[in-house]
């Protein structure tokens, strides 16, 4: 089978988030199963910022048994990257099926148009917040108008799709709210357990002498970093965490300056270490040496970062926001608090710091969860089964 995976960013732009890892892991696993897989994407590379595009990246690049086909972005607005020449690239290659990941993207519009022209099945996944992302309500009037236009196109794509791959029941219900007739298959997001290994010594590299707790993610308001810093300020003088540091790792998505000002305001420079644009190996080694992960997001659909933490038997403190409880299960593999509640988060941090047995119990449960359900091998096998089924149904129409 010749499979086109379409997404707004891919390697080397790993800081873009889960879409990159999901597409690459699907491509790697399915190509190893004997299929011809190409990721069609942009030339985003993050070398100089969150919206920098690099014409010097190879247009077509081979990774193991799959390919990445990049086309240049000539205009971008926020995370909407326009690379119109992608259409001809996919059309020329004539795939049997297209799977687009990240519906709030120009690339999904391209995937939809190509699938209609070539008369081939279109599988869609979101990962971008169809109706729930905070920026949809917090933007200015011009962006709100553009989002309304985008919403019209998204509904058309959903209506014309052959099937939808949703990461959890929460996401499935969002799709059903848009089109009750949609065919939806729940396929859990998964992480690549083979790559979550590091020989680096994180504490030694960053000169950390104490225990530390970890945040990994974009420096954006929606990730709840402000609440996290307030929480850490609340408890900085508590005896139980006197020797515990907070490590914040990520890339700027508009909140870095505010984050640094808040840390300075509370005089937390000695207690909080910020690592900007961290290498992937540093992130992986940080998981392994941390006490636990904190993801205090105001919004998430199906986050991958908790799954990566679970792979190291580390529990997670997160929020009850949106799709998070389908990944971080309160009292089972982590602790859930209300979003933007610094007092509740403070209490959860202290509770998990002082209770070694609880950390071990929650961490082991998370470890079992990723090995049994949320790994990239299971995700790829289930996705391939969906492709084969929909291609067969499409041919029999």
Domains and CATH numbers, the chain: 2-190+375-395 (3.40.50.2000), 202-372 (3.40.50.2000)
From residue 181, alpha-carbon distances to 142, 158, 177 in Å are: 32, 10, 10
Q: What is the pLDDT of residue 140?
A: 72
Q: What is the pLDDT of residue 157?
A: 94
Alpha-carbon distance of 157 to 164, in angstroms, equals 11
Residue 38 · residue 3 · CB < 8 Å: yes
Q: At 35, is the pLDDT very low, low, confident or very high (cuts 50, 70, 90)?
A: very high
Which tokens go with 247?
């490590």
Average per-residue pLDDT in the chain?
92
Q: What is the pLDDT of residue 129?
A: 66
| pLDDT > 70 fraction of the chain, expressed in percent and rounded | 95
Q: Does residue 136 carry a pLDDT above 80?
A: no
The pLDDT tens digits for 174-194 are 999 888 888 999 999 999 999
Residue 188 · residue 378 · CB < 8 Å: yes
Q: Does residue 382 carry a pLDDT above 80?
A: yes
Q: What is the pLDDT of residue 132?
A: 61
Alpha-carbon distance of 99 to 205, in angstroms, equals 40
Q: At 135, is the pLDDT very low, low, confident or very high (cuts 50, 70, 90)?
A: low
Instruction: Calculate mean pLDDT across residues 49-78.
Output: 89
Q: At 106, is the pLDDT very low, low, confident or very high (cuts 50, 70, 90)?
A: very high
The pLDDT tens digits for 18-31 are 899 999 999 999 99
What is the β-pairing status of strands 293-295 and 316-319? parallel
Q: What is the pLDDT of residue 138?
A: 62
Q: What share of the chain is helix, strand, coil (3-state, %, to 5)?
A: 45, 20, 35
Which one-letter DSSP state was computed for residue 57? S
Which tokens go with 361?
């119990």
Alpha-carbon distance of 182 to 160, in angstroms, equals 9
The pLDDT tens digits for 267-318 are 999 999 999 999 999 999 999 999 999 999 998 889 999 999 999 999 999 9
Q: At 37, is the pLDDT very low, low, confident or very high (cuts 50, 70, 90)?
A: very high
Q: What is the pLDDT of residue 15?
A: 80
Q: Does residue 2 carry a pLDDT above 90?
A: yes
Between CA 385 and CA 388, with CA 387 as vertex, the angle to 5 degrees is 65
Instruction: Calculate mean pLDDT across residues 123-146.
Output: 72
What are the start-end ranges of the H helices in the chain? 18-32, 86-93, 106-118, 135-138, 141-160, 169-178, 202-205, 225-235, 256-265, 280-289, 305-310, 342-354, 356-372, 376-395
Q: Does residue 216 carry a pLDDT above 70?
A: yes
| pLDDT > 90 fraction of the chain, expressed in percent and rounded | 77
Alpha-carbon distance of 188 to 191, in angstroms, equals 10
Least reliable range by pLDDT among 36-40, 125-129, 267-271, 360-364: 125-129
Neighbouring CB atoms inside 10 A of 167's CB total 26
Q: Which residues, including other chains, have CB under 8 Å from residue 33's CB and lie 6 or more apart?
A: 380, 384
Higher pLDDT, 135 or 303: 303
Q: Does residue 49 carry a pLDDT above 60?
A: no
Instruction: Calculate mean pLDDT across residues 67-90.
Output: 93
Q: What is the pLDDT of residue 301?
A: 87
From residue 53, alpha-carbon distances to 10, 72, 224, 282 in Å are: 12, 7, 28, 24
Q: At 80, is the pLDDT very low, low, confident or very high (cuts 50, 70, 90)?
A: confident
SS3 185: strand
Q: Does residue 48 carry a pLDDT above 70?
A: no
């Amino acid at each position: 089978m010749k499979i086109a995976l379409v997404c707004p960013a891919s390697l080397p732009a790993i800081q873009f988030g889960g879409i990159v890892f999901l597409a690459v892991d699907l491509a790697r696993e399915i190509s190893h199963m004997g299929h011809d897989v190409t990721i069609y994407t942009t030339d985003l590379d993050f070398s100089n910022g969150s919206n920098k595009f690099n014409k010097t990246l190879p247009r077509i690049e081979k990774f193991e048994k799959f390919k990445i086909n990049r086309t240049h972005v000539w205009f971008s607005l926020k995370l909407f990257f326009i690379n119109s020449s992608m259409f001809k690239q996919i059309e020329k290659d004539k795939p049997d099926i297209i799977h687009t990941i990240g519906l709030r993207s120009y690339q999904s519009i391209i995937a939809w148009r190509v699938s209609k022209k070539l008369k081939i099945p279109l599988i869609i996944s979101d990962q971008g917040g169809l109706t729930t992302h905070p920026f949809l309500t917090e933007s200015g009037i011009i962006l709100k108008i553009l989002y309304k236009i985008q919403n019209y196109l998204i509904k058309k794509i959903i209506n014309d799709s052959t099937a939808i791959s949703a990461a959890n029941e929460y996401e499935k219900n969002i799709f059903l709210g848009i089109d009750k007739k949609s065919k939806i298959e729940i396929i859990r997001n998964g992480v690549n357990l083979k790559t979550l290994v590091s020989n680096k010594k994180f504490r030694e590299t960053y000169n950390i002498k104490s225990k530390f707790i970890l945040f990994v993610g974009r420096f954006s308001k929606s990730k709840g970093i402000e609440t996290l810093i307030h929480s850490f300020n609340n408890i900085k003088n508590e005896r139980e965490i006197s020797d515990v540091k907070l490590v914040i790792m990520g890339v700027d998505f508009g909140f870095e300056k505010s984050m640094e000002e808040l840390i300075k305001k509370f005089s937390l420079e000695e207690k909080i270490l910020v690592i900007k644009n961290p290498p992937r190996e540093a992130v992986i080694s940080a998981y392994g040496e941390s006490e636990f992960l904190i993801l205090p997001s105001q919004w998430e659909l199906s986050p991958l970062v908790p799954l990566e933490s679970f792979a190291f038997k580390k529990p997670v403190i997160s929020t009850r926001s949106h799709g998070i409880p389908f990944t971080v299960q309160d009292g089972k593999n982590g602790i859930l608090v209300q979003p933007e509640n610094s007092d509740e988060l403070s209490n959860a941090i202290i509770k998990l710091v002082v209770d070694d047995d609880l950390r071990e119990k929650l961490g082991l449960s998370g470890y079992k969860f990723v090995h049994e359900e949320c790994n990239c091998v299971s995700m790829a096998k289930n996705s391939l089964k969906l492709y084969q089924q929909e291609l067969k149904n499409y041919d029999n129409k």
